[in-house]
Structure 1
């Protein structure tokens, strides 16, 4: 182990610290340990503010803190001392704080205000909710998580409004100009991209009376352009240039055949009337299609043809003409860029205004609104000092996690608060952790350069200690060696320091698989040209199967390694590799289907991270079809899908029975009226909802369409229906009756319970897919609850919203459900999605492709990390209109993109614990990840093939798994009934609650009023309850059960799982030195023989005694019933 990190300084509660920590170094451990040390040093929980990047990370920090607090409270002293020693406390310090450590869990759980662990956006919302009215206060506004649908609606409103405007409206004219020059798709991409950068736009134009005019003028100054200048007219009026062109054409006409053709083209262009056409043709003579000057090099043959003098003049004319034409081209590009920005900025601001009006009307805020409002609240509003004072008085300790993912506006918010301290002596402690090498969220406006800026600012104002943690506690030496080799000498990867390895004896390897070669099946390649009949024979086209070959290689290698390669498990030690040990990483999802297809063919279970793919899964499609059927019961296809789904498991024969028109010989139910379907007019109008039963033949003769499947299912006699169809008819009729009465979530809850949905789907899928299917089913019902907080008034409205989500971009559609441990399945993730995760074996797929550069029709932004606002905000169309003044901004973006591409590779490599494998397809791309790794490993002489030794484990057995469970038979289902509490039962519940809430160690009379308020009762109703509770707590014979001085521990409403899997609860358990008592309150029974009263509960108490006997071995277990009086009956 090589770990010289200064943990004592890092965890010192009195020090402010900035830590740059590499991947796998335990940043979460550091953060939570720091919080723990702050609490042990006496900090109040409410004084601590911990900010992280994602809600998942915040939940993980919260869970780990509570886990550690439980360790301090409940574990043996030796274990607690070792726990504290690991967190840089010496023996003397441990002795001093040990009593406080034991009570820390209670102090944190009961703290008011509580400890804050949140994301930036979550914390910002809290600030806005506490802001003075009128200054950024959110009032009754709700948070808009998904913006695509609302932006689409804003786009429609914006376009319709401008279409209705008079011809002289500037915005309407600008939009028409954009449509005419660039097309609808490009214009829409541009303007929606402008809306996506709304926070930067607000910061750039803050304080300006006319933001659009200000931004357009800044563009004009940057481009140094005169919009009214006639560039080509001035060019063609230049007599010197005209002379050059004529003489240049003459010399070209005497040169090679190629130049003679160019000379003829040049002469023809000089005769053109149209100035733009003339410029384009002359440009083509002097420049290549890529925009570079044609090469003109001296040669003996050329000198012989032209003579030395003419050859020299040819070069001079070519150079002068290229320079003049390039200057004119640049001025034309600048004018085009100016017009593009003038129209685009005007329309973008108008679309943004329409979007903001739409949110305002619906009382919604998105994340950009939240950030901007908080920034204004803390830096520019009249209440800024007041809010800063409130923050100063609340928070004394600030912890910032994953700081490399912070955007400039978030840092401006923090900086405006922290800079307000000035030279005051009550500054908070700051603990900042991050790693610029792992900044991969530029598309979310993350700015990794802020880490260095923030560290320097904090060093100046807060005297922070700067630490570097470069020891990986995750990866094997082989992986870390490869990481060091790949990134150490990379010029575009500044700031990299050589990594060390904590697990020096962990076996590992790096492997580069052979690239999949291009293998095309070309039509007619063997016999030459082959004539074909196009009406009978389709054209044979070349098919690129490289990714299929790569996917097949992946599947074969995984199959070969599972059960044979050895994994060093931290919990169980050496074991054979399982599917769960593999993590497949991709840059994008383009070829995901190819990899999934080959894994399925090889019978390899996998979990794929399809972004926004929840609604595309089969199980959720079944549920959507079910809900659509309940709204439109005449939809036969929806009913067929539901019946064939695992919910009912009907056979093809069942569906054929419904699909076949009813025969006169087919048994029908007794003559009766069929209730109108829930979608019918009668049902909606509130009538009785009865319609006469009509035979399909009669309806067909009348010109009708015949009975629907649902009508047939209700019509047929039950004796000819299979059990599955009988079950379906009963349940669907019940659910149809509830569809208009229950909220969607409650309806789905009823469907899940009565249809036994989870169990039936688990029985219908392979075991490897069970976890994913179960997670998706739960995610769907959660979607119904989360969608607009479950406020949709009708099932039809919910279905419409689901349809809109299905059409939404992938990043805004609901993702598939999260699976607990993933099951025994290969995980396929994007590199972005894998951040924060790890696996024993990581395989980077499609690694021989170059990243795609940012396209056109986007915002061109320059926001230096140290600047309070963007320094430049413009729009970029396409390469042909890229002005020279904009090239430097574009080149800066390309530099940032190159660095982020290397950051992605760093993140991918550092996910691996033991083995990192790379594969790809052969191609012409240069500077790919595959080439970069191969070149650096080859130069270092490191192995690049799969090892045969350290990972072989042929004698380690793999457990066999049943892969094809059969479908469960249709289970009987019940119906949830509303539980109505009678007075006696309600009385008992309330007495139980008082006995649970009251604290006997404190004066009881002083707790009466708070207990009454908690039960929300008047004094007359509360009095008998209070008396019953006091009778128990004050009884002398029961005092030892409630006096903390007389027992070791006591628990109210203690839950445990019985042998049958059911949850049980003990009213009170009291532990003494040599015994344990289980107390059960019986408030409803009184009078009579105590033994007779206790008789009905003997079995229950016997179960309690048996269960607690295994929990407290070596102690006598006593069980007792407490009847009113109080009367204690031990059983």
Structure 2
């Protein structure tokens, strides 16, 4: 019998098809195998194969999953015909599950292997477009538009039409004038800003469209959202400082008392603390004072960065020890030393430093009325802009992926008023599996919420989410890793999900896995933060300890800012020389060279040619 995997219990639990799960599955952990096995096991208990929906984020992933499912079923058929046999535990599991699917296929006459189109494995974009086309008028997608990411023409058309209302006798004209005035009436600047906002509209459109056009409700909504962000941030910061609460409170009261006596306290009044300040906007000034004797001043060019304050002085509330009152002087020396000791202990804690710097960026409770006036006007302008964009899409017969997601949401209606399509799908789709859930956007989450509205535990339906928050890479498509963290903690709608974690790494050998664990365990934050998308590192466990090489080596090339071209050429020579050496050492192995952008290959490709190295490029032409 083969040795049990370190996460074997989690893998077995994940195949309990009556329950819903969210699975943390790092790179190389076998998540595609797990998804495929659960999909097959769900097929075996379904009346129709269309009851099971698997959603991926790329065509390649959807194709790979569908091909794997078909291969497993064909292999199981060969085993049942006596032409093959399982040789290990995983193959025996595949045979058990695949045989049950083939039995159901025979019983219900599905003919899956002859009709692979009945496997509902598709990308999130294709599924959204399918939904939108079912109700083209309600979804506002209309006809059969082309889906593309190249829609700046539509953006500019919508912006021009919206700003064209400036000369009208409407409330919108006043709002446009307010937004223009905020940007010094620079039309070019506002067009650039609005294009950026339109590209990210799935992060704000659903909220903007729900707002009332009256000013007061808009301001109240924005204020409540701001207070929620402040409270969550301060709660997370409190957790980081809780261990030193008593010490920090004493230092706070000492420093505040000293500055209050000198009339230099940057607070309305000195109220001694008994605990760390509360986690709300009203207490933000107290937080800022606490931080003022821990961190140095803000950097003018980078307000998100900061450094620990190595030495506190009188202006921070810590007077020198040479005081006329000897007893007070001794107290000053003691508390200043204790503050210094505390900061010295905090020096290696980059997570705490980042958290305190972020608190300094939070807006206080007393925003200027003009700021609220601008934000309210901007919301109304965005509301109009979104409507004009729909008209532009219709005119040019184009939509982007964000719009197909929004259209799918409209086609499903709401939980209170579901459409006929939503009700029909509720009777057809009983199980949903989502791959790469860490790359989910807000619109896609809303879609899942509508698809699972009314689902309850133990009602025969299930939701299975798989992802790795450490690998979120679809920020350019407005993915938000905070959504993964939120769903893991709170579920989706009324549906709670049991969290599971895979830790086995089948892909890499011991030196690589150990290096990644050692380096990235310190690069990731220790605690999750939903609003900021902060994700702790989850170490992998080695399954293949054997190694052919030395693992990971890092070579840094130092250069001055005005020597970038020479540095690129030097880097290319190092890369090409290393590739040549590896090819001689391992002539039968493939070698990969990864770059962040295509221009980085301009120096590398000629260096490879110089050494007569043959290469094949992917997505660089």
**TM-score grouping bracket, smaller chain normalisation:** 0.5 to 0.7
Equivalent position of 2:592 in the other structure: 582
Taking a change above 3 Å as real, the CA distance of residues 222 and 208 of structure 1, as seen in their structure-2 partners, is: closer
Residue 219 of structure 1: how far off its partner (Å): 5.2
Equivalent position of 2:571 in the other structure: 550
Do the aligned partners of 1:399 and 1:430 also contact (CA within 8 Å) in 2?
Answer: yes
Distance 1:173 1:465 in 2: 50
State the secondary structure of the residue aligned to 2:143.
coil
Equivalent position of 1:593 in the other structure: 602
Taking a change above 3 Å as real, the CA distance of residues 219 and 589 of structure 1, as seen in their structure-2 partners, is: farther
Distance 2:493 2:385 in 1: 43
> After the TM superposition, which residues 749-768 of structure 1 pair with which residues of structure 2 at under 5 Å, given as runs?
none
Q: Which of the two has greater strand per residue? A: 1
Residue 91 of structure 1: how far off its partner (Å): 8.9
Taking a change above 3 Å as real, the CA distance of residues 150 and 467 of structure 1, as seen in their structure-2 partners, is: same
Deviations 1:451-497 (A, max 9, x none): 34434556996686643221111001111111221233556155433
2:521 pairs, out of 465, 469, 488, with: 488
Q: Does 1:67 align with 2:71?
A: yes
Residue 377 of structure 1: how far off its partner (Å): 4.2
Equivalent position of 1:829 in the other structure: none
State the secondary structure of the residue aligned to 1:507.
coil
State the secondary structure of the residue aligned to 1:50.
strand
Q: Does 1:3 align with 2:19?
A: no
Distance 1:543 1:457 in 2: 48
Taking a change above 3 Å as real, the CA distance of residues 170 and 598 of structure 1, as seen in their structure-2 partners, is: farther
Residue 585 of structure 1: how far off its partner (Å): 3.5
Distance 1:514 1:373 in 2: 49
User: Which of structures 1 and 2 has the larger relative contact order (alpha carbons within 8 angstroms, sep 6+)?
Assistant: 2
Do the aligned partners of 1:18 and 1:433 also contact (CA within 8 Å) in 2?
Answer: yes
Q: Does 1:500 align with 2:541?
A: yes
Question: Which consecutive unaligned segments of at least 5 residues does structure 1 have?
Answer: 225-243, 246-285, 309-325, 521-540, 567-575, 614-815, 817-1131
Residue 499 of structure 1: how far off its partner (Å): 1.5
Distance 1:44 1:438 in 2: 34
Distance 2:189 2:30 in 1: 45
TM-score for both structures, normalised by structure 1: 0.38
State the secondary structure of the residue aligned to 2:403.
helix
Equivalenced residue count is: 493
Equivalent position of 2:203 in the other structure: 200
Taking a change above 3 Å as real, the CA distance of residues 408 and 98 of structure 1, as seen in their structure-2 partners, is: closer
State the secondary structure of the residue aligned to 2:24.
strand
> After the TM superposition, which residues 746-825 of structure 1 pair with which residues of structure 2 at under 5 Å, given as runs?
816=621
1:352 pairs, out of 386, 401, 407, with: 386
Taking a change above 3 Å as real, the CA distance of residues 61 and 511 of structure 1, as seen in their structure-2 partners, is: closer
Equivalent position of 2:288 in the other structure: none
Deviations 1:318-347 (A, max 9, x none): xxxxxxxx9xx9999946744653554454
Residue 436 of structure 1: how far off its partner (Å): 1.4
Equivalent position of 1:391 in the other structure: 425
State the secondary structure of the residue aligned to 1:357.
helix
Taking a change above 3 Å as real, the CA distance of residues 10 and 548 of structure 1, as seen in their structure-2 partners, is: same
Taking a change above 3 Å as real, the CA distance of residues 111 and 83 of structure 1, as seen in their structure-2 partners, is: farther
Residue 606 of structure 1: how far off its partner (Å): 4.2
Distance 1:399 1:549 in 2: 47
State the secondary structure of the residue aligned to 2:22.
strand
State the secondary structure of the residue aligned to 1:180.
coil
Q: Does 1:440 align with 2:449?
A: no
1:153 pairs, out of 130, 136, 157, with: 157
Q: Does 1:409 align with 2:430?
A: no
State the secondary structure of the residue aligned to 1:585.
coil
Distance 1:504 1:457 in 2: 37
> After the TM superposition, which residues 912-923 of structure 1 pair with which residues of structure 2 at under 5 Å, given as runs?
none
Q: Does 1:559 align with 2:580?
A: yes
Distance 1:104 1:592 in 2: 54
Taking a change above 3 Å as real, the CA distance of residues 45 and 508 of structure 1, as seen in their structure-2 partners, is: farther
2:133 pairs, out of 126, 129, 135, with: 129
Do the aligned partners of 2:141 and 2:394 also contact (CA within 8 Å) in 1?
Answer: no
1:370 pairs, out of 379, 382, 404, with: 404
State the secondary structure of the residue aligned to 1:581.
coil
Distance 1:461 1:217 in 2: 27
Deviations 1:790-819 (A, max 9, x none): xxxxxxxxxxxxxxxxxxxxxxxxxx4xxx
State the secondary structure of the residue aligned to 1:432.
strand
Equivalent position of 2:352 in the other structure: none
Do the aligned partners of 1:404 and 1:434 also contact (CA within 8 Å) in 2?
Answer: yes
Taking a change above 3 Å as real, the CA distance of residues 513 and 3 of structure 1, as seen in their structure-2 partners, is: same
> After the TM superposition, which residues 518-557 of structure 1 pair with which residues of structure 2 at under 5 Å, given as runs?
518=559, 545-557=566-578
TM-score for both structures, normalised by structure 2: 0.65
Do the aligned partners of 2:65 and 2:121 also contact (CA within 8 Å) in 1?
Answer: yes
Deviations 1:185-212 (A, max 9, x none): 5322211122223333332134434177
Equivalent position of 1:475 in the other structure: 508
Do the aligned partners of 1:25 and 1:469 also contact (CA within 8 Å) in 2?
Answer: yes
Deviations 1:86-140 (A, max 9, x none): 2554998898887668999972145698231112222222223334x85437452
Equivalent position of 1:639 in the other structure: none
Do the aligned partners of 2:438 and 2:480 also contact (CA within 8 Å) in 1?
Answer: yes
Do the aligned partners of 2:26 and 2:468 also contact (CA within 8 Å) in 1?
Answer: yes
> After the TM superposition, which residues 283-298 of structure 1 pair with which residues of structure 2 at under 5 Å, given as runs?
none
Name which of structure 1's ranges 483-492 and 335-344 shifts more when overlaid on structure 2: 335-344
Do the aligned partners of 1:475 and 1:503 also contact (CA within 8 Å) in 2?
Answer: yes
Distance 1:386 1:28 in 2: 34
- Aligned-residue CA RMSD (Å): 4.7
Do the aligned partners of 1:171 and 1:350 also contact (CA within 8 Å) in 2?
Answer: no
State the secondary structure of the residue aligned to 2:594.
strand
> After the TM superposition, which residues 102-251 of structure 1 pair with which residues of structure 2 at under 5 Å, given as runs?
107-109=111-113, 114-131=118-135, 135-136=138-139, 138-146=141-149, 147-159=151-163, 161-162=164-165, 169-171=173-175, 173-174=177-178, 176-178=180-182, 180=184, 183-210=186-213, 214-215=217-218, 218=221
State the secondary structure of the residue aligned to 1:472.
strand
Residue 49 of structure 1: how far off its partner (Å): 0.8
Q: Which has the larger radius of gyration?
A: 1
Distance 2:424 2:170 in 1: 53
Deviations 1:229-272 (A, max 9, x none): xxxxxxxxxxxxxxx99xxxxxxxxxxxxxxxxxxxxxxxxxxx
